[in-house]
Amino acid sequence: MDIVLGTHQYGKAEVRLVHVVRDGERHRLTDLTVSVALAGDLADTHLTGDNTKVLPTDSQKNTVYAFARRHGIGEIEEFGLRLARHFVDSQPVITRAIVHLQQHAWNRVGGHSFTRSAAETRTATVTVDGPDTVVVSGLTGMVLMNTTGSEFFGFVRDEYTTLPEAHDRILATAVDGRWRHASSESDDWAASFAEARRHLVEAFVDTYSLSLQQTLYAMGQRVLEHRPEITEVRMSLPNKHHFLVDLTPFGLDNPNEVFYAADRPYGLIEGAVRRDDAPRWEESWWNL
């Protein structure tokens, strides 16, 4: 029986970077977590411990900081592109670089004062793989709720089913969504992100939902209909269940007003919505 080395990569995970642009008395703050993963002709370090082709992960971390000082940040897609292209162009054995970025939101409360926001986290993943460059933008932790306009009925019943049908329920989720761009070149990454986010939210609001699966499709469909630069949208939507509390032991009715918000277990709905002519989205571009 032969034993061989399978797919492998290595890198520096979760580099914390805070960048301040000191424009007079009004500063600009960017707070990032950056992860790098490199792949290429690196079998020797696994098979024999030969590190002559290995760029230390500490050097990768230092590159993140040096590029922030030398080039600034800009939009996170731009920063990720600069880093990924640098690693592939500067290291002869590296054929693929994946840079994943999370941007943590702060709200301005003064010229140089900020408060950490509870809003969702903006994300970007840039992959340079040989001649191909892929940019995936997204967000995570965007909590949405409709207090009506949602039903769930007509589902399969077996001997273990106890769930009653619901004809007026709360629908809540925390969106983890990512979307692939048709091109790695853009005139305005910020506007593209803002508009994609807006259409996700508006589709959630406007859809009378018979299932969270239906809502996921409607959200992705709306983004693709309005944003031609995006070719595929992938989402992971936990169903943040809200159960009606039985108040009859206290002599009270409950006309859909008092709920118990359960944190677990929860249903998890995941799916992709894509243009039918979109190129295949490799899993390595989806998960770091």
Bridge pairing between strands 267-274 and 171-181: unpaired
Burial class (CB in 10 A: 0-12, 13-18, 19+), 47: exposed
Say whether 57 is catalytic.
yes
Residue 120 backbone phi and psi in degrees, to 5: -65, 165
Note whether 80 and 8 are within 8 A (CB): no
One of 61, 199, 240, 241 is an active-site residue; which one? 241
Number of H helices, E strands in the chain: 5, 12
One of 57, 104, 112, 226 is an active-site residue; which one? 57
One of 12, 100, 181, 240 is an active-site residue; which one? 12
Residue 155 backbone phi and psi in degrees, to 5: -85, 165
* DSSP letters spanning 27-44: EEEEEEEEEEEEEES-HH
Task: Tell me how far the alpha carbon of residue 66 is from its chain's centroid.
Answer: 25
* DSSP letters spanning 174-207: EEEEEEEES-S--S-HHHHHHHHHHHHHHHHHH-
Angle between helices 76-90 and 189-206 (to 10 degrees): 130
Say whether 115 is catalytic.
no
140 CB contacts (<8 Å, ≥6 apart)?
A: 102, 120, 121, 123, 175, 176, 177
125 CB contacts (<8 Å, ≥6 apart)?
A: 80, 98, 99, 100, 101, 135, 136, 138, 178, 285, 288
Say whether 173 is catalytic.
no
Q: Which residues are catalytic?
A: 12, 57, 241
